[in-house]
Amino acid sequence: MKRTLVMVALLAIAVAAVSCGTTTTMTQRWSDPAYVGQPGQKMMVIALAKSERNQMVWESAFSQALTKEKVTPLVGSKFLPPNNAADEATLKQVVKESGANLAAVTRLIAVDKETSYVPGSTYYTPAPAYYGMYGYYNSAYAMVHDPGYYQENTIVKLETNVYDVASEKLVWSGVTETLNPETAQDVANSVAYKVTEDMVKSKVIRK
């Protein structure tokens, strides 16, 4: 019975570790307190990426997040030349003619590697009286030690700036860090949710 409890405890720990999804945190953020978005906004989504695939992945993820907040996304790759290779005058003309109220520009800052130490832990399961040989024997099985270990982490850093098209001023800016993503899609989905959530709280975008 005691061994069964130990195995159940270990299984629960393992399941919890596996079930953890991609985590994104906002390490820097700024918003213009004087800017308040209005319902029915349109946002041009521009990804500065060397890979066309990564560009499309970000545009799609960010567009879906904006749509959920009743903001109409305008995908940059449909308006701009390949790889967003446009001079300032062309970019300004294209964005204004698109009817966008806001323009969001996202770029990759870095992909860092770091090693961290995860300390060990000791878990206890219910046990009978400690004294006596048989009681101690069963109690020993009820104590599970999880040794510490080193792990290498991958951290993807992105910067997103949002501009008001009419005034051309920056109204929101944020830097995100995504921990150990498996794919570019994981990064895009997680960051798009985090960025959009903060813009809603900052009232830069409104339903």
Give per-residue pLDDT as tens, 131-167.
555 566 666 555 666 778 888 899 999 999 999 999 9
Domains of the chain, start order: 22-117+150-201 (3.40.50)
Question: Is the per-residue pLDDT at 64 higher than 60?
Answer: yes
Question: Is the per-residue pLDDT at 9 higher than 80?
Answer: no
> What is the rounded CA–CA span in Å between residue 81 and residue 200?
30
Which band of pLDDT confidence, cut at 50, 70 and 90, is reported for residue 171? very high
pLDDT recorded at residue 95 = 94
pLDDT recorded at residue 11 = 38
Cβ contact 136:130 at 8 Å? yes
Question: What digits encode the pLDDT tens for the residues 11-56?
Answer: 343 333 333 468 999 999 999 999 999 999 999 999 998 888 999 9
pLDDT recorded at residue 18 = 36
pTM above 0.85, yes or no: no
